[in-house]
């Protein structure tokens, strides 16, 4: 029986080391870490204890994860704030951290990205029916997670300038 306890302790330390390495490689949410620990077959109590240790040693930080996630999804995938917010909620990130991460996105960069995406989409559409171009592009921008009022404003400006 003592051998089993020693073996479990060694396994827990091994799992902790693997988790530390995994979290050091890239920012992770608590939810991701919990799912990863479930894959190791740990009980919920053991997993919660390891998560607490990872948090206390700063391997997992919700705010840092939210900032990195939001910045990456905006810069690389060019997602809008709505889509980023939804994805962060799927990771069970607090509203405070979500607001902070979205506020870190530069307003001018956000607007420039919208304009670039709108212009790119308009180039793929047939010239002619402006109303169809407008709604098709607006639908595209909303699907990318941009606010419909901001997209409408930018579309009106771009389409008005092209007339």
> Would you tell me the crossing angle of helices 107-124 and 130-143 to the nearest 10 degrees?
130
Co-location of 16 and 56 in the same domain: yes
- If one compares 4 and 85, the residue with the highest pLDDT of the two is 85
Maximum CA extent, the chain: 82
Co-location of 55 and 8 in the same domain: yes
What is the total count of domains within the chain? 3
- If one compares 12 and 149, the residue with the highest pLDDT of the two is 149
> Encoding tokens for residue 4?
């089993």
Co-location of 9 and 56 in the same domain: yes
Its domain, for residue 146, covers: 107-162
CATH number of the domain encompassing residue 41: 1.10.10
Co-location of 34 and 6 in the same domain: yes
pLDDT for res 2:
41
For the entire predicted model, the pTM comes to 0.86
DSSP state of 126: P
In angstroms, the CA 37 to CA 139 distance is 39
Co-location of 49 and 72 in the same domain: no
pLDDT tens for each residue of 88-125 = 999 999 999 999 999 999 999 999 999 999 999 988 88
- If one compares 74 and 123, the residue with the highest pLDDT of the two is 74
Co-location of 9 and 36 in the same domain: yes
Co-location of 94 and 138 in the same domain: no
Co-location of 132 and 113 in the same domain: yes
Decide: 118 and 151 in contact? Cβ < 8 Å: yes
Residue that finishes a domain, picked among 25, 40, 60: 60
Co-location of 117 and 90 in the same domain: no
Q: Is residue 70 over pLDDT 90? A: yes
Positive/negative CA dihedral, 100, 101, 105, 111:
negative
Co-location of 14 and 50 in the same domain: yes
Co-location of 28 and 78 in the same domain: no
In angstroms, the CA 145 to CA 150 distance is 11
Decide: 54 and 19 in contact? Cβ < 8 Å: yes
In angstroms, the CA 74 to CA 57 distance is 28
In angstroms, the CA 127 to CA 146 distance is 24
When computed from its CA atoms, the radius of gyration of the chain, rounded to whole angstroms, is 22
Co-location of 6 and 50 in the same domain: yes
């Amino acid at each position: 029986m003592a051998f089993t306890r020693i073996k479990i302790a060694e396994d827990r330390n091994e799992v902790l080391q693997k988790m530390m390495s995994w979290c050091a490689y890239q920012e992770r949410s608590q939810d991701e870490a919990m799912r990863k620990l479930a894959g190791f077959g740990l009980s919920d109590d053991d997993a919660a204890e390891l998560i607490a240790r990872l948090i206390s040693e700063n391997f997992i930080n919700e705010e840092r994860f939210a900032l990195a996630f939001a910045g990456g999804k905006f810069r690389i995938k060019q997602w809008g704030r709505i889509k980023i917010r939804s994805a962060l909620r799927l990771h069970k990130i607090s509203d405070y951290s979500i607001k902070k991460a979205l506020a870190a996105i530069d307003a001018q960069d956000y607007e420039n990205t919208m304009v670039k995406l709108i212009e790119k989409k308009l180039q793929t559409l047939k010239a002619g029916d402006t109303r169809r171009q407008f709604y098709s592009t607006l639908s595209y921008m909303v699907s990318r997670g941009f606010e419909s009022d901001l997209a409408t404003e930018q579309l009106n400006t771009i389409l008005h300038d092209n007339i």
